[in-house]
Amino acid sequence: MSAPAPLPRMIAAQAGMELRLTARRGENLFVTLVLPAALLLFFASVPVFPADSDRPVAFLLPGALGLAIIATAFVNLGISTAFERGYGVLKRLGGSPLPRSGLLAAKVAAVAAVEAASVVVLFAVAAILGWGPGSAFSVPVVAAAVLLGTFAFASLGLLLAGALRPEATLALANAIFVLFLLVGGVILPIARLPEPLAALARLLPSGALTDALRAGFDGGDAVLPFLVLGAWGVVAALLTARTFRWE
């Protein structure tokens, strides 16, 4: 009997399969790649919301990046994993040589690959609209915000997927996604919300993510957003580890 392949190779192979499955789901590609770019293009071209910049794209780009992360790491991952669990796919994969931790790592790796494509698309659209990184733009802060946001929202998506029925995960993930759109600072600035609602929005993972991204673009203070994002990620990851069901 041949020895099993090394764990990194198995994770890479499973991540490739996850990407192929994602590419076959047109609705997932629309939400993760097309929707954030379309919203950036629309709201940067039509002054529906007032912006604090002469170029609306400079304000909207961090929010569009946040939207892409939420759509990919939370909505797409959560819903697809929930239906895989409901159809018994996770149970069968759990009996393969790839350990369950490796399966989750492959799913997160696939999420990261889709997010990388989203980042390229959004920066390309922003460049077409005339945006360019200013002197305050910080690659390390933006990269850290993307990584921490991915961790937080992937943990939240897996928390729903492992604890609820697929139909419940579908409904709840979409409802939360709309909530994040409305009060998460993705399009409408948190500062323009009524103060009690603005304070709540800054404690949401979506608000913390967009605040962290804006800090990376504008040179602001990202400490509090990073702390909020990290807290959401750690708590969600611990709850997922305790409650995730594979069948």
Q: Determine which of 38-47, 70-79, 150-159, 235-244 has the lowest per-residue pLDDT on average.
A: 38-47
Q: Give me the sign of the Cα torsion angle 231, 240, 19, 87.
A: negative
Please report whether residue 2 resides in a domain.
Answer: no
Residue 127 lies in a domain: yes
207 located within any domain: yes
pLDDT digits (tens, 9 = 90+) for 81-102: 999 888 888 888 767 787 877 8
CB 210 within 8 A of CB 70: no
Q: Where are the alpha helices (DSSP H) in the chain?
A: 7-24, 26-29, 35-45, 56-69, 77-86, 89-94, 100-128, 139-163, 166-183, 195-203, 205-218, 223-243
1 inside domain:
no
Q: Could you give the CA distance from residue 66 to residue 77 in angstroms, rounded to a whole number?
A: 15
Phi, psi of 98 (to 5 degrees): -75, 120
Interatomic CA distance for residues 67 and 38, integer angstroms:
11
pTM: 0.89
Residue 136 lies in a domain: yes
In a domain, 74, yes or no: yes
Reported as a single tens digit per residue, the pLDDT across 149-194 is 999 999 999 999 999 999 999 999 999 998 888 887 777 777 777 8
Q: 205 is in which domain, residue-wise?
A: 7-243
> What CA dihedral angle connects 206, 209, 211 and 215, to 10 degrees?
-170
Among residues 85, 86, 82, which one has the least CA distance to residue 74?
Answer: 82
Distance CA 120, CA 29 (A): 14
- Tally of structural domains, the chain: 1
